[in-house]
Amino acid sequence: MARLTYEHTRKREDTVKKRMLTRDDIEFLKDLQHEMNTQDTVGQRDPRYWGILETERVFNLEDGEELLINDDNGDEYLDLDTLTPYIDKIAKRVYDAGRAESHGNWIDVYDGEDNVETFFEMDEAADWLREHGERIRFTHFEDVRRIHEGPIFLTLRDADKHLKENHYHYSDDAHAFAMTAWRDPTIERLWQLLQEIDWDRCRRAPAEINEDFEQAVEDMMSQA
């Protein structure tokens, strides 16, 4: 597949309907400008924007942290100690007097006083659970910090609002993260316009300007 570059794309016709600025547009731009110019820079230079930084768990690696996942209910087990209650429940079902004891680095399974199973590794315990009808997956994983693909924000205020309203799409530690559009002259120019234009000089609504213009045309026509 060829790389997508500007030279490889085709321009399309601009069919977007154009309009004049309204009072609401100007008030929106003034509010945005004030927020952009007064928010904490957090040591990040302009043109500053915000993304969402979160932790993503990457599974099915050859190495990394070990994890058992119960496919029936989604329960996860990170080590033998936390797995022991689950092993104990299955041991009670499998053996007449079954029970499991954790010793930190290993699990002993008993039938009465007899030690019938010992697990030193998570994958051993997973195999035993599968042998007794449990739908268990054993995998390696790594928790990776990453910028979430998708939303970007001009202000920290909007990034925080987005997280509060859409928290269920993100990890528990997700938070806004400031970045700079480095060496992007178009973004830099746009940010300057948003931050520097005196919107108070644009308070007069364009609709009123249009009315004055139309009236002037009518006066000229009547005098012709």
Domain spans, the chain: 21-56+144-214, 73-134
Tens digit of each residue's pLDDT (9 = 90 or more) over 98-145: 999 999 899 999 999 999 999 999 999 999 999 999 999 999 999 999
Contacts of 152-155 with C-beta under 8 Å, sequence gap 24+, read 152/49, 152/50, 152/51, 153/49, 153/50, 153/51, 154/32, 154/35, 154/36, 154/49, 154/50, 154/194, 155/32, 155/35, 155/36, 155/39, 155/50
pLDDT in tens, 9-45: 899 999 999 988 888 999 999 999 999 999 999 999 9
**pTM of the complete model beyond 0.75:** no
Q: What pLDDT, on a 0 to 100 scale, did the predictor assign at position 220?
A: 52
> With pLDDT > 90 as the criterion, what percentage of the chain qualifies?
74
**Strand, coil or helix: 85:** helix
